[in-house]
Structures are given as C-alpha cells and as structure tokens.
Structure 1
Amino acid sequence: MQKIRNFSIIAHIDHGKSTLADCLIQACGAISAREMSAQVMDTMEIEKERGITIKAQSVRLNYNYKGENYVLNLIDTPGHVDFSYEVSRSLASCEGALLVVDASQGVEAQTIANVYIALENNLEIIPVLNKIDLPAANPQRVKDEIEQTIGLDCAEALEVSAKANIGIKELLDTIVEKIPAPSGDANAPTKALIYDSWFDNYLGALALVRVIDGNISTGQNLYIMGSGKSHEVLGLMYPHPLRQEKTKTIRTGEIGIVILGLKNVTDIAVGDTMTDSKNKTKEPIAGFEPAKPFVFAGIYPIDTDKFEDLRDALDKLKLNDSSLTYEPETSVALGFGFRIGFLGLLHMEVVKERLEREFGLDLIATAPTVVYEVTKTDGEIVYIQNPSELPPEQKIAQIKEPYVRATIIVPSEFLGNMITLLNSRRGIQKKMEYLQETRVLLEYWIPTNEIVMDFYDKLKSCTKGYASFDYEPLDYQEGDLVKLDIRVANEIVDALSIIVPKSKSYERGKELVEAMKEIIPRQLFEVAIQASIGNKIIARETVKSMGKNVTAKCYGGDITRKRKLLEKQKEGKKRMKAIGKVALPQEAFLAVLKID
C-alpha cells in the first residue's frame, strides 16, 4: 500500500487536463507512441470534437522512482458543472489532486468550485501551471492569483507544458513525494466506493471502484448497500484506456473494475458502497445520494412513427448513463414523446446529440423547465415540471421556484455588462470582490429558470467570451409567477406554455406572438395568435389570410356576378375561421427557445 498513489486532475474547461493526462500516460510507458492518440482518455466522439470530458476515465500507471516501482492511479474527472456529483465521488476515492491552471488565463470559476470539493475531501492539492510555453503566459501573476483566491501556497507550484512535454518528469516525482499513500485496514471487512459505472455489450454492467478496506476477489459475494442486493464477482480488471489488465484480487487502496454480469447500471449507482455479503461493514461511505435531475425537457421524434425507436434508444442510453430519468408524455401539437430529466444544460445537449448520432433519430426538444413547488389553496403541496400540469390560477396559494448560487469571474472592463445581465435575470448580489485590478469575482443567487435557456450564451457574448461561470443548486424560494399560454386560432398549444415572472409576462407574451407570426404559414383564413394568462389575453398578432383570386374565371358581364363570387368567398372564409385547424411547423417550437 505504501507504493500506491491515487490522484485526480481538477481544472476549468480548456485548461489542458486531458492533454496533461495523455502526457502522464506516455511518460509512464502505459501506451506506446504508435498507439497514442490525442485525448486518449476521452472515448466518445462528442468528447473529442468538443474537447470536453463527459465520462470520467481512470488508468493504472507504473512509475519507477529512485529505483523503486510505484503504482499511480490517475482518476480522471469530468470538468463541467453538470457532472459535479461524479467529480465529488471521484475525488472521494483519491488522496491527492493536481490543480491545473492555465498560465495565461489564470483562475476561473470552475477551478474554485472543484477546489472546494477537493478541500472537503481533505485532499493534498498540488498546484500545476500548464501552458507555460505560450507567449501570453504569466506564471507569477497566476501564482499570486491562486494564493489570493484559493489560499494555496504556490511557492513550489510546478510549471509545465503538456503540449511541449516540459516539466512532466518533475510532476511525476512530486506526485510520488507529496501525495500520501492510501490508508485502510486490509484485515477489516470489504468496503469499496463505486465512483463510476457503465455498460459493456459483452460483460454487462461494470463498476469502477476504490477499495477502502479489505480486498475484493473473484468468486466473492458482494452486497451493494444502496440497492440492498447481493451479486457474485465474475471477474476483476485494472483500468487502462486501450486494454484492461485482468487480476484475481483488488487490494486495499487500489482501484479496479468489478464485473458482476448485471443487465443494467441502476443497481450499481455512482457513490454507493460495496461490502462482503457474509461479513458486512458497519457504516456505508458517506455522501451517497441518487442523481437528481436539474432541468427537464420534452423530447419528441419529428417522425411520429419513430416513438418506439426513441424508447429503445433511451433504454440503451440509460445503460451507460444512470443519471438519465424519463417518462412518456403526449402533446397535442407534437404527438408522443418523453419527458426527460437532465443534470444540467450540457448534459441535455449531449444526450440529445447522442440520441441523434448513435441511434439515427431526428428529434425536437421543447423549452427546458425546472421543478416548481406549488402550494394549493387547500394546503396540498405538489411538484410540477411541466407548465401544463399547473393547477388553475384560482387554486394556487403560492409558487416556489429553485435558485442557484452562481460564481462568475469576469474582467473588470465587462463588469457593467455583467451586472446588467444578472439584474435582468432577477439575480440577487451576495458578494463582489476584486481578485486583481483587472478581474472581479461575483456571487449571485439566481432563479434556476433564468439560467436554463440561453444565459450562458448571453454571458459569453456580453463579455467577449472572457467570463467564466459556475453554479450550485440552492433551496426553493417564493416567486410571483404565472403560466403564459399561447393560443393559435383560439386553441391553446400545450407545448408552448411557459412559466414566467408576472413582471415579465407582458413583454415575453408580446415577443412570443411576434416570433410566431413570422413562422406560421399563411392560411386561407385569418389566424389569431394570442398570449394569455388564464382567460386574460395580454398580446395578439394576426396572420393575414391568403387571397385567392375567385373572380379570375369571371370575364365580362355585370358587376353583380363578381360580387356574388366575392360574397361566397367571404362566407367560406368565415366558416373556415370557425372550424379551421392550423398545422404548426417545427420551427415554431424552437422560436420559444430563442426568445431573449
């Protein structure tokens, strides 16, 4: 155990985490130069394309330090805020972490968020400045910033460049010297933390575990404390990006993959504790919680015949992503589809893209919503995630909405733009401090509903891409909210209903009907598009009717012949207006997403 080092890499997006991981893997000789590819730890196409880590990967490396062999377990973590629960579980399985900061950009919002998770787990943190070979790099300024913002001593901070392979040997030596060896009781009952799980087509559901106490051996019966089920261990492996290495035992302090031959991932949830079925450990590992969806959206196939294909695709995707929750729902406008719960906005984008790519589906997503807590006049409390579930206005006593604590780091020249944006999103300022003369840290409480649409895009555009943003969920707070319905030809379109603050309802309603007017094709009769709150119409636009030239065939003769045809047309239009149906194009539903 003294020769094992378990560590993780934490960083903001784009600060070079995956490139540094590649460097460490190559320096330890785990993959030959011929087999090496960029971002070797990222296995999905989307990860390589976007340059982000979605699924954490781990690798076991052998490193020779002063003539002795050490085992380094690199536990990679996803960088994005949506997967912060997975990050917390990955960090709970380590003794140390490399805090990677870009030497030209400095500390960003996510750097701070992930450092706090690492400090909660009492990890040894090693500051590493990456990209020191860039012309804009300023290592001293960044060291001062880390000391000031996070309070870490940077006197011995390592300066490396993963691209140019500078300082990698010193970094590996420092990992061996500074990160403590795992502590655990090899003779105690088996106790292991599941910090990742996924599905393999041949082996079934796999659990990636860190053994805290005792050992895990093939043939052993393991009891999973969260699900309350026992399973036999069919095989054990050490993780490797290209070829897994089989083993008979995973010992105390080690990480490994446990094969249980399960058909789905739900029984081996991330954060759960494994122990021996006959000799159970007394206490499970603290911090386990089922994944809670944060944002909800309806996803429908554009071709309604593909509903069953979408169901199969979701069932298969859930095998690899246990945090996905979904249930069938129907919409008058869009037909049959699913209401899906996501961990956040990036997670929503990734799931939709994977469904379209991996399963060849054409999908449409409705506007993302959050869960509201509604107290009825009879005292009953209900939780709703779809605006169409909201009770009638006269039966609602109060509506509470979820809030998030947002941390934003912004260059001081864009501070005015940033505060204007936050105020327009009903943000409440809690903290503002200058990290340096040129950079400001803001902490705001913002209603979740205000950040789920296009907040991130607006934040980037009003700061020329320089601001960084991170958030964590808070509790529910009361809000003055109403349900805004859109009626087309006097019929409410359920998929376009949204919940908005009363103060913004008029302008949102006006913007929506104006956007819809441009999109709805002209019919042979006038179409009224209205925004309403309850039975009160607050905005209206009219799509003019198409003129059909009914008098074209009328040549010569008396004017009364033309008048007769026009009167007949007028009657027909009146009747069509009363019974006419309007087919809404798909763009109409996307218009709601793009309303600022």
Structure 2
Amino acid sequence: MTDLSLIRNFSIIAHIDHGKSTLADRLIQHTGGLTEREMSEQVLDNMDIEKERGITIKAQTVRLNYTAKDGETYQLNLMDTPGHVDFAYEVSRSLAACEGALLVVDAAQGVEAQTLANVYQSIEHDHEIVPVINKIDLPAAEPEQVRAEIEDVIGLDASEAVLASAKSGIGIEDILEQIVAKIPPPKGERDAPLKASLVDSWYDPYLGVVILVRVIQGVIKKGLQVKFMIGETEHLIDRVGCMRPKIEQLPELGPGEIGFITAQIKEVEQARVGDTITTVKGGASEPLPGYKEVQSVVFCGMFPVDAADFEKLRESIAKLRLNDASFTFETESSAALGFGFRCGFLGLLHLEIIQERLTREYDLDLITTAPSVVYRIQLNKSKTEPAGELMLHNPADYPDPTRIDVIEEPWIKAVIYTPDDYLGSILKLCQDRRGIQSDLTYVGGRAQVTYELPLNEVVFDFYDRLKSISRGYASFDYEQIGLRPGDLVKMSILVNNEPVDALSMIVHRDVAEARGRGMCERLKDLIPRHLFKIPVQAAIGGKVIARETISAMRKDVTAKCYGGDISRKKKLLEKQKKGKAKMREYGNVSIPQEAFIAALRMGEE
C-alpha cells in the first residue's frame, strides 16, 4: 500500500513532433524503468506506424519509481497521450485521470494549435501545469522567445520553465524534481465504495481485453466481482497490475493509483472509455462525470481490389475492431466495386491509419471511396410514409429530393496558426471552402485565425492544401460545433447514361458545377476508348451540369477497297454506322479498376 502523498499522476501534452514520446523515453531511462539493452526509441509507441510517422495513436501509461533529492521515493504514473485532434476524447479521459501535466513546447517552433487545444483541456481539469521548453540544443532554438510566448498566448507563468533536450538528456533531473514539487498528490478514501475510471482498453491475444484504470476511491483486487456502470455488464477480475513499461502483476490498486485489470472480456466494445467501474455488492450509486458516446465523424466505403479478398477483408476488419472500438463498419455493395464495407472513423487521420494498417498488417489491396460526413435530413410526409428524420452516411442512400424539407451538415470551428507570409493564401483557401471568419489575432510574428467551416469541405484535402500553401508551417486544430442547414445536393456521375454509385457525392450547390466538371475531365482521361462514343456526365437529379465525351476508336472499314465505284465505300460506311448505333444501344462500358482508384484517390483538384 503506497502512501498517497508519494504518488504523482501526470500526462505529457504537446503538439505533434514536439518531443513528447522522446521525453517519455528519457524519463523511463533515468528512473531505471528499463535497462539500456531493453530501451528502444519511442518505447511507449508500440505500432510501426506510430514510430514511422512520429505520432502517438494509443494512450500509453507507465509507472516509474523516482528517489528525489529530499530522500523520499515517489511513484510516478506517466500517461503519454495522443496529440492529434481525432483522438481528443481519449486525451480528455487520460487528463481526467491525472492531477498535473507537463507542457512540452519546441524551442524552435513555439506554441502551436494542438498545444493550445490540449492545454485548455488540461486547465479545465484544474491541473497543475509544468512548462518544459524542449530541443534547446537545436541551432534554431529561441528559448527566451518561447518562454514569452507561453506567457502571452496561454497565460501560464513560464519564469521557472525547465529548459531541456529530451534527445540529449539535458534537464531530465530538473523535470523530475519539478513533477515532485509542483504536481499535487491524488486524494481518495481507501474505505469508501470502489470508483475507478476506465481510461483506455486494448486487446491482447492471450489475456483478452486489458483495461487501463485510475482508482478514484476504494481498492481493486484479484477475485473482485465488478460492474461497469454505463456498459451495465458484470465481470470477475482475474489479474491486477501496472506497466513498468513491462507488465508487472500487483496484489491490489489503491486510491490514486493507475494500473490495469483483466477480467476475461472478449470484446473491447464492452470496455468503453470513460465508464465507471464499481463493485457489484455495496458499490457506488453514481458514475463519474464526463462520459460520452464516441461518435464516428467521417465515413467512407472500403472495397477489396480483388473481389475474392472480401472474406479476408471481413476477418481483418473484425480483428482491427477488437483493438479499436471507435471504428465502426457495416457491409455495403456497389454495382461498380462489388461487395465491401461502409466504415466510420473519428476523423481523417484515423481513416488513414486504419487504411494503412489493413494494407500492411493484413496484406490487402483496397479501394476507398471519397470520404463523406453524416448529414441530418428532415423528411416531409409522403402518400405512403410519415414525416421523419434521417441520418445519412452514404450518398447512395440519398432520398427523393421532393421529400426533403431541410438538410443539415456538421460544422467545425478551426484554429489555424500560420507565419504572416502565408496568411493571404490561407484566408483564400478558407473562403473557397465556404468558411466564415470569426477571429484574427497576432501572437509574436504569427497569425492565429479562427474560422467556422463545413466539415465536408475539410474532409477532402483541406489539411494537405493547408500544408502545401504554408510549406508545412501552418498548424491546424478543430472542434465540432453542431449541425447547420445548407443548400446541399447529390451529384451523380453517369457513364454512358448509367449512374456510377461509387462516384456519387453530396456537395454544396454553388460548387457542384466545378466539382462535376473536374470529375468528368478526369474520367475522360482514365476510361479507355471503346468502339462507340461514351458520354461522361455529372448530374443533379435530372439536370446535367457537366459533360465530357470519350471519342470512339475508329476502325477503317474502307481500307480493303482499292479503286472501284464510290458506292462500295458508302455501303461499308453505312453498315459501320448501323453497327455503331446498335453497339451504343446495347454496349457496356467497362470501367477498369485503376480508373476508379485514380478518380477516388485524387479527391478534388
């Protein structure tokens, strides 16, 4: 049993690539969590994609023992949280499990968009924040300027900010001393009814679902019959322990401690992040506040390039779902692409990571349809059906336009940080995407722009365009602000007068024509020529708004006529003309798979 005054629970918050995972490595190494031989770079990032991209996808935890200068040995529980906006809910649950946070800011780049978003979340949880200015050994480092920026932008006192370099190991001892001195110990009654917050869960092939918990009050031990208050399920705990970062079994977890439990749970779906765990007998009456259902924001269709791989794709998606409860899927069929799945994601990065994991870990070749968001449609009464509300995930399910009263789309509030030189181009990009500017302020030499934008304009390639316009210097963070009505229509693509469902999309009426023209021009280059003319059209309902024609391949039927009367040639050409008319009537246009992939991957120009 650990004395509460000797426990410190903290997380590390930072913008992507400011050195969060490297700092975690140094803290583990310095406190002897792993030996020199067992250390690897980004030891808490256990997926290849995390290491390659330098991002954290899953929140990780580690328990360290540190003997401070005052002679006491402290138990430090470190939570390495994801920095990306898609995983904001996971971050909020991890922060709720701590009493303090290390704010890591890059000495060369200063405060950025996600630094702010996560710091404000941390402040909402009443955390004690310890500023750390990292990478001070870089030639471009300006620690004093960054110190001033932290004070101006965030409003934190940075006079005692630790100057450190996680890579070189500078200032690590100072950071540990600040954690012990500034971050308050947890509070909690050992004899009170058990209340533990479910911070995260993941699937282990040997242990089943492993659940990361923070005990608020009471004690968790092996053999205890517990209840998940929101999931309303009961389980028997068969293992209690902590990560150092290797798994270590413990007899119990007391108040204020962070560790893991297993209870032979087979599906991550049952262990929802943010749930409250209590005992079946004499348990708590109220769950902890802050729980919310995780909702998918972006949807797209995933189809195997080879139709024979459908079962393999089904198995692979089911295995991935074991580890990631925020990813949803259901079967879908398309006339053009065959059988596949309609998948829901937390955001674009989440989509990209799932897609990459399916390709890498399960060796699948996939076609992904254009990403779309969820629309809410108010339907009026028809002769056969009553009025009602429809949540539309797939453009193919768009109802009859005469039944639509109002169609609403999700909007976001985006905060963009950019050097002054690129401000004009970024404002133009946001205006082109139907953005409404709500704020523009200056922080040092950089502009902070706040825009309200429709999410369906952002899911295409907004982030890529933003990065290319600003040469990678702009940073972007967003939060959802609800649904608003919009003048939205379904744009269908017709090839040889046949609609191609996989290419249909929901767009704003003002940009439909430009988007349709771009898609038709692209398909004209991608679909091979046939022996008859092929019209490629973009249409809204029955009205064609753009058209391109793929010219026919011409066979010279008069080549075998040497001299003779002209009527012989005319006769052959007439015969060819009739044949072409018949072919146009009955002929099928085969669109090769590559054309689909290219059209869908290019998104929009």
1:267 to 267, 270, 287: 270
- For 2:582, the equivalent position in structure 1 comes to 575
Any idea what the Cα deviations from partners look like across 1:161-203, whole Å, max 9, x if unmatched? 0011110001001101111111111111111111110000011
- For 1:6, the equivalent position in structure 2 comes to 9
Report whether the alignment pairs 1:47 with 2:47: no
Report whether the alignment pairs 1:138 with 2:142: yes
Report whether the alignment pairs 1:442 with 2:449: yes
1:427 deviation in Å?
A: 0.6
1:558 deviation in Å?
A: 3.9
1:587 deviation in Å?
A: 3.9
- For 2:394, the equivalent position in structure 1 comes to 386
Report whether the alignment pairs 1:396 with 2:400: no
1:553 deviation in Å?
A: 4.2
1:555 deviation in Å?
A: 4.5
1:594 to 575, 598, 603: 603
1:550 deviation in Å?
A: 2.9
Report whether the alignment pairs 1:427 with 2:431: no
What letter corresponds to residue 316 of structure 1 in structure 2?
A: K
1:143 deviation in Å?
A: 1.2
**3-state DSSP of counterpart to 1:584:** coil
1:363 deviation in Å?
A: 0.6
**3-state DSSP of counterpart to 1:288:** coil
Any idea what the Cα deviations from partners look like across 1:263-293, whole Å, max 9, x if unmatched? 1111111111110111111221111112110
1:317-336 superposed matches below 5 A: 317-336=320-339
Structure 1 unaligned residues grouped into runs of 5+ = none
2:252 to 232, 249, 252: 249
- For 1:83, the equivalent position in structure 2 comes to 87
Counterparts in 2 of 1:558 and 1:52: CA distance versus 1, 3 Å? same
Distance 2:503 2:244 in 1: 47
Q: Structure 2 length as normaliser, TM-score?
A: 0.97
Say if 2:370 and 2:603, in contact at 8 Å, map to a contact too: no
1:247 deviation in Å?
A: 1.0
**3-state DSSP of counterpart to 2:546:** strand
1:588 deviation in Å?
A: 3.5
1:461 to 453, 462, 468: 468
1:97-108 superposed matches below 5 A: 97-108=101-112
Distance 1:567 1:248 in 2: 92
**3-state DSSP of counterpart to 2:216:** strand
In angstroms, what is the RMSD of aligned CA positions? 1.1
1:240 deviation in Å?
A: 3.0
What letter corresponds to residue 540 of structure 1 in structure 2?
A: R
Distance 2:585 2:126 in 1: 69
Size of the aligned set, in residue pairs, is: 594
**3-state DSSP of counterpart to 2:417:** strand
Moved more, 542-551 or 105-114: 542-551
1:146-161 superposed matches below 5 A: 146-161=150-165
Distance 1:240 1:29 in 2: 9
Distance 1:323 1:594 in 2: 25
Distance 1:369 1:237 in 2: 42
- For 1:120, the equivalent position in structure 2 comes to 124
**3-state DSSP of counterpart to 2:320:** helix
1:566 deviation in Å?
A: 2.3
Q: Structure 1 length as normaliser, TM-score?
A: 0.98
What letter corresponds to residue 433 of structure 1 in structure 2?
A: T
Report whether the alignment pairs 1:17 with 2:20: yes
What letter corresponds to residue 23 of structure 1 in structure 2?
A: R
Distance 2:109 2:560 in 1: 73
Report whether the alignment pairs 1:299 with 2:306: no
Moved more, 549-558 or 524-533: 549-558
1:140 deviation in Å?
A: 1.2
Distance 1:78 1:315 in 2: 24
Distance 1:60 1:414 in 2: 44
- For 1:363, the equivalent position in structure 2 comes to 366
1:148 deviation in Å?
A: 1.1
**3-state DSSP of counterpart to 1:262:** coil
Distance 2:191 2:64 in 1: 26
1:536 to 536, 543, 546: 543
Distance 2:244 2:373 in 1: 38
1:412 to 403, 407, 420: 420
What letter corresponds to residue 62 of structure 1 in structure 2?
A: N
Report whether the alignment pairs 1:452 with 2:452: no
Say if 2:201 and 2:271, in contact at 8 Å, map to a contact too: yes
**3-state DSSP of counterpart to 2:373:** coil
What letter corresponds to residue 491 of structure 1 in structure 2?
A: E
What letter corresponds to residue 275 of structure 1 in structure 2?
A: T
Say if 2:225 and 2:280, in contact at 8 Å, map to a contact too: yes
What letter corresponds to residue 410 of structure 1 in structure 2?
A: T
Distance 1:14 1:579 in 2: 57
Any idea what the Cα deviations from partners look like across 1:485-524, whole Å, max 9, x if unmatched? 1100000111111111111111111111111111111011
- For 2:234, the equivalent position in structure 1 comes to 230
**3-state DSSP of counterpart to 2:372:** coil
**3-state DSSP of counterpart to 2:584:** helix
**3-state DSSP of counterpart to 1:403:** strand
- For 1:500, the equivalent position in structure 2 comes to 507
2:557 to 538, 547, 550: 550
Structure 2 unaligned residues grouped into runs of 5+ = 382-386
Say if 2:557 and 2:576, in contact at 8 Å, map to a contact too: yes
Distance 2:135 2:296 in 1: 36
Moved more, 553-562 or 381-390: 553-562
Say if 2:199 and 2:212, in contact at 8 Å, map to a contact too: yes
Any idea what the Cα deviations from partners look like across 1:456-489, whole Å, max 9, x if unmatched? 0110111111100000111101111111111000
Moved more, 583-592 or 263-272: 583-592
**3-state DSSP of counterpart to 1:261:** coil
What letter corresponds to residue 148 of structure 1 in structure 2?
A: D
What letter corresponds to residue 147 of structure 1 in structure 2?
A: E
Aligned-pair identity in percent equals 54
Distance 1:374 1:433 in 2: 37
**3-state DSSP of counterpart to 2:292:** coil
Distance 1:469 1:355 in 2: 27
**3-state DSSP of counterpart to 2:520:** helix
1:112 deviation in Å?
A: 0.5
1:554 deviation in Å?
A: 4.3
Distance 1:212 1:300 in 2: 45
Report whether the alignment pairs 1:95 with 2:102: no
- For 1:309, the equivalent position in structure 2 comes to 312
Moved more, 316-325 or 553-562: 553-562
1:156 deviation in Å?
A: 0.7
Report whether the alignment pairs 1:480 with 2:469: no
Distance 1:235 1:64 in 2: 28
**3-state DSSP of counterpart to 2:343:** strand
1:561 deviation in Å?
A: 3.2
1:557 deviation in Å?
A: 4.5
Distance 1:68 1:585 in 2: 69
Distance 2:190 2:180 in 1: 22
Any idea what the Cα deviations from partners look like across 1:210-234, whole Å, max 9, x if unmatched? 1110010000001001111110001
1:340 deviation in Å?
A: 0.4
- For 2:477, the equivalent position in structure 1 comes to 470
What letter corresponds to residue 61 of structure 1 in structure 2?
A: L
Say if 2:460 and 2:604, in contact at 8 Å, map to a contact too: no
**3-state DSSP of counterpart to 1:189:** coil
Report whether the alignment pairs 1:67 with 2:71: yes
